[in-house]
Amino acid sequence: MFKKLNHAGTERKGRIFAVAAVFALTIASLSALVAPQKAAAYSACSGNSCSLSVEECLAKNPRPLLKVNGVPDRKCTAAVQGFMNEVYSRGISVDGSYGDQTAITVAWFQIKFDIGVDGKVGPATWQKIRDVCTWIYAYNENQACFSRWSI
């Protein structure tokens, strides 16, 4: 009617729990080490070596037209490059230079959102960037639209 208490099973469960707890603490420690390094890369810029954030570029009136061989707006170009890397993991250089790599990435973004594809950041692309910023901040509290990158 009564089962005999099995101490071996209890010890095994205790060991499994201990291993799981150590694993969880290790992961938490690694996350704490990695997160500040990522944040530091974006907050380290200051003065003229710093780009504007996407939100600051969106607030400009008129918003700059970014294109290959166009009038350079290095700070907003770097903001768009950083935004594409941060939100979509595109892996382009954040250098403030609107070259072929940036134009191809912008064209990819335009195709993704079914807006006119020309590889330029004009009114429709800026509007879609604003829409994406609104969405990612509201649902993910992602700071990509407020980040600044060193150029």
Q: Does residue 89 share a domain with residue 69?
A: yes
pLDDT in tens, 1-43: 555 555 555 555 555 544 444 444 343 333 333 333 333 333 4
Q: Give the rounded distance of the alpha carbon of 6 from its chain centre.
A: 52
**In the prediction, which pLDDT does 32 show?**
34
Does 37 share its domain with 53?
Answer: no
Whether the predicted pLDDT of 96 surpasses 60:
yes
pLDDT at 51 over 70: yes
Do 77 and 102 contact (CB within 8 A), yes or no?
A: yes
Rounded Cα–Cα distance for residues 109 and 101 (Å)? 13
Q: Are residues 81 and 60 in the same domain?
A: yes
Indicate if the pLDDT at residue 115 is higher than 90.
yes
Mean pLDDT of 118-130: 94
- Same domain (yes/no): 36, 51: no
User: For residues 36 and 106, what is the distance between their CA atoms, to the nearest angstrom?
Assistant: 29
Single pTM value for the model: 0.66
Residue 150 inside a domain? The answer is: no
Phi, psi angles (nearest 5°) of residue 87: -90, -40
Whether 51 and 39 map to the same domain: the answer is no
pLDDT at 10: 54
